[in-house]
């Protein structure tokens, strides 16, 4: 039986074309990196999101495992990528808004996105002063394939 609170994320399930854009670290300015994202159920209480972007110097792979701590009434996300990075995020989802945030000693990160049926428009940001100021890393847009 599916976890009731995770069932609310069912609209994310599927195949998505993915675009990374407006990234401070990509040259030349205006560079867009295309890719794909697949979001599937992993058992009855987890979602698995796998993203592959670009090729060559702009190639990257990342995955999210989205779960829930029912006793804490909170979504939990584990992130990993092909650099060997692993991070934990707190997550909220509802009323057309999806957020993920981490507040770790090295730096803080957040993802905020507007969620529509066939489009998710998101933005990743980072803070190196414990959330006092934020800089945009990049936009990440998902279109249902």
Give pLDDT tens digits for 35-73.
999 999 999 999 999 999 999 877 899 999 999 999 999
Domains annotated on the chain, with CATH: 14-144 (2.40.128.20)
For residues 136 and 121, the answer to whether their CB atoms sit within 8 Å is no
User: What is the structure's pLDDT at 57?
Assistant: 75
User: What is the structure's pLDDT at 114?
Assistant: 98
pLDDT tens digits for 29-39?
999 999 999 99
pLDDT band at 128 (very low <50, low <70, confident <90, very high): very high
User: What is the structure's pLDDT at 73?
Assistant: 94
pLDDT tens digits for 90-123?
999 999 999 999 999 999 999 999 999 999 999 9
User: What is the structure's pLDDT at 19?
Assistant: 97
User: What is the structure's pLDDT at 56?
Assistant: 82
Q: How far is CA 113 from CA 2, 10, 27, 42, in A?
A: 25, 16, 24, 23
**CA angle (7, 11, 14) in 5-degree steps:** 115
Q: How many CB atoms lie within 10 A of CB 9?
A: 20
User: What is the structure's pLDDT at 72?
Assistant: 95
């Amino acid at each position: 039986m599916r976890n009731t609170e995770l069932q609310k994320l069912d609209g994310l399930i599927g195949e998505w074309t993915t675009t990374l854009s407006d990234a401070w670290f990509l040259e030349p300015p205006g560079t867009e990196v295309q890719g794909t994202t697949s979001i599937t159920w992993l058992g009855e209480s987890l979602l698995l999101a796998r993203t592959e972007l670009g090729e060559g110097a702009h190639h990257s792979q990342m995955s999210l495992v989205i779960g829930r701590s029912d006793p804490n009434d909170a979504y939990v996300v584990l992130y990993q990528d092909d650099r060997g990075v692993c991070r934990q995020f707190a997550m909220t989802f509802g009323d057309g808004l999806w957020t993920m945030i981490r507040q770790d000693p090295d730096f803080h990160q957040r993802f905020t996105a507007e969620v529509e049926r066939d489009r998710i428009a998101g933005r990743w940001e980072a803070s190196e002063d414990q959330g006092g100021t934020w800089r945009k890393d990049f936009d990440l847009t998902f279109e249902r394939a």
